Each structure stands twice: as C-alpha cells, then as structure tokens.
Amino acid sequence: MILITARVGRMKKTNKLVSAFIALTVLASCSSSNDSTTANESSTETTIDSVVAKLPVVAVTYSVIGDIVSQLVGDNASVNVVIPDGQDPHEFQPSAKDIETINNAALVVSNGLEFEEGLEEVLENIADSSGNIFMIGDHITVRKTEDGDEHGDEHGDEEEDEDHAEEEGDEHGDEHGGGDPHLWLSPATMLEMLPALTSALSEAIGADLTESSASLTAKLQDLDKEVESIISSLGECNLVSGHDEMGYFADRYGCEVIGVIIPSFTTTSEATAGDIAELKEKVEQYNVPAIFTGLGVSPDTATQLAKELDIKAVTLSTHFLDGAANYQAFMLKMVNQIAEALG
C-alpha cells in the first residue's frame, strides 16, 4: 500500500510537471504567434501607408465637386477637399496647410467663377504661374443674367444701373465675372464639363479613366431624367431661395425663380429693407407656398419672412454634401425637399 501510494504521489508530481511544461510551451507558441501577427500587421500598415503616400493628390475646393472627382479617379488618386463640409465656400479662408495642399497637388479642381472667394488669390497664383488647375467655369455654358444683374434696377435708377453694369459689371455680378457660379445644381451642366475634367485628371494622375467616366456619365444622365420627372410632376415650380443660387436648376427643369432673400450670387452680400418688401409682394402675387433657404442666409430672417407670409420656410443643403453618400444622393435629397414643399 505504501509503495502504491508513493508511486501515485510520484505520478501526480510528474503529471504536474508535464502539465506545467505543456502550458509553458503553449504560452511560448502563442507569444511567438502574436509577435508574428503584430509584425505582419505592422508590415501591412506600412505597405498601405506607402501606397497611399505614393498616390497622386487631387485638391478640390469643395465637397460636391470633390465627390464628382472621387467617382472619376476611384483608387487611382487621393482626393483632398479643401473647404470643410458645412462651411460657406463664399466666406472660407484657407490656412497655411490648405495653401500647401493646393500648391503641391497634381491637379487643382475649382469652380472657376470666383465662387471660393477666400481662395481666389491662391487659385489665381497657380493659374498665373501655369500651374495644373482645372476651372469648371471654363468648360460649361455659363449662366449670365440679361444685363449682368437681374436685380440691378431694384437698387436705383435704371439708366444709372445700366451705366454701372457697362463700366463695372454690377454690384453683385461683377465679382463673379457676371456669371452664376452655382453650376453644380444642374446634372446637365456637370455632364457638359465631364469630358474635359476626365481628360485633365487622366493626364495629371497618369491613369486611364475612360471606364469610370462612362459609368459616371450614365449615372448623371439617369439623375437628370429622374430630377426632370420629379419636377415635372409638380405642374408649377416657382422658387424663392436664400440667395441667387437656383438659376442653373431652374433653367434646366422649367422652374421660375420668383425672388431671393439676398439678391446676389454670393452670401457675403446683404438684403435691404426694400429687397425684402419687394420679395414679399412677389411671393403673394405668385402664391408661392414655401421659401427655400440655407447656407449663408440668416434662418431668423427666413423664418420671420415665412411667418409674416404664412408659408413654409424650408432649409436646403445646396452648397455641400451634408452627409449625402454622393452627388446623386445630394441632388435627389434637395429635389425631393423642393417637390414636397411645393406639391
């Protein structure tokens, strides 16, 4: 019995040693595996960072156009949008880092109609030094008012305004060369400039974008038809907007801009008491059911105006993506808001 007990004791001791040995072996194996995994992950991250660092950078001034560029270049380039989503492009002022990004880009894509007012000097310097810059306004049919300012005769004597328009453009339009910069609000206008943009991007980043351009062309054509269908179902499309931003949209889809709160292409201007009084008369005359407002226009002004007229005030995102997945979703969200408010 004593021998058996002793043997059992020695066996238990041996088993404990074996168990301890196995445990240490497993731990060592796990440690080696973890080290290997960590090393592999680190190597993968380094490789990814290296690839990203080698991609050519395309600098785009604002997010709506940035998405168009992203859909074109895909994984062939890194797209850097300079103006943060939600900031007014009319008022944005660049930092030193923003200027560096623009100056070092393989290609800079801008509106081209002095839309990004705080970036104008930077963009002009690139253009003057023969830098690689693509200005959309150079590749579309620019919308201009009949005499340079559809609001000109609201601010004084008609003859004086005509002289002023001839000599200096107009108090609102000249700062944009007399052209409307809100070109992205018509998919048809985006289609007009797409071939030239594709060519410029292909050359700048050294990639064949034929396939992605064809795909985006089809998507924009479908979008154009869908927007047309939604607006045509309204029967009548009379618009009142925050500032003069809906011109391309109205021209394309048969709407009429009855009036605007700020009679200018830019939100940096201000409306006078006379402007507001005349706008109220037009809203009542045309029986407009809603006022559309957004970036750069005081929500209090729009809300008060709508309250006085007993109509709706609807906030539209017209200048930035505002969470939309892409340009197509951005446009459809805006159009559906318009249709719901006017329907």
Rounded distance, CA 79 to CA 76, Å?
10
Between 177 and 185, the more confident residue is: 185
Q: What is the pLDDT of residue 231?
A: 98
| Strand (E) or helix (H) holding 10 | helix 2-54
> β-strand 238-243 against 290-293: which pairing, if any?
unpaired
Residue 318 tokens, joined: 């017209």
pLDDT at 139 over 60: yes
CA neighbours closer than 13 Å in the CB half-sphere of residue 91: 11
pTM value?
0.77
Q: Which of 45-49, 171-175, 221-225, 253-257 has the lowest mean pLDDT?
A: 171-175
Domain 57-219, classified CATH 3.90.1150.10, yes or no: no
The SS3 of residue 259 is strand
pLDDT at 325 over 60: yes
pLDDT at 120 over 70: yes
- For residues 58 and 80, the answer to whether their CB atoms sit within 8 Å is yes
pLDDT at 213 over 60: yes
Topology match between the domains 57-219 and 233-342: yes
Percent of the chain past pLDDT 90, that is, above it, reads 62
Rounded distance, CA 189 to CA 175, Å?
21
Rounded distance, CA 333 to CA 323, Å?
11
Between 319 and 145, the more confident residue is: 319
Select 233-342's CATH number: 3.40.1480.10, 3.40.50.1980, 3.30.200.20, 3.20.20.70: 3.40.50.1980
The predicted-structure confidence for 262-321, as pLDDT tens digits, reads as follows 877 876 667 778 888 999 999 999 999 999 998 878 788 888 899 999 999 999 999 999
The predicted-structure confidence for 72-116, as pLDDT tens digits, reads as follows 999 999 999 999 998 988 889 999 999 999 999 999 999 999 999
| Strand (E) or helix (H) holding 257 | strand 256-262
Rounded distance, CA 205 to CA 329, Å?
27
- Phi/psi of residue 135, each to 5°? -105, 115
pLDDT at 242 over 70: yes
Q: What is the pLDDT of residue 53?
A: 58
Rounded distance, CA 152 to CA 187, Å?
29
The predicted-structure confidence for 31-49, as pLDDT tens digits, reads as follows 444 554 444 554 444 444 4
Listed by start position, the domains of the chain span 1-34, 57-219, 233-342
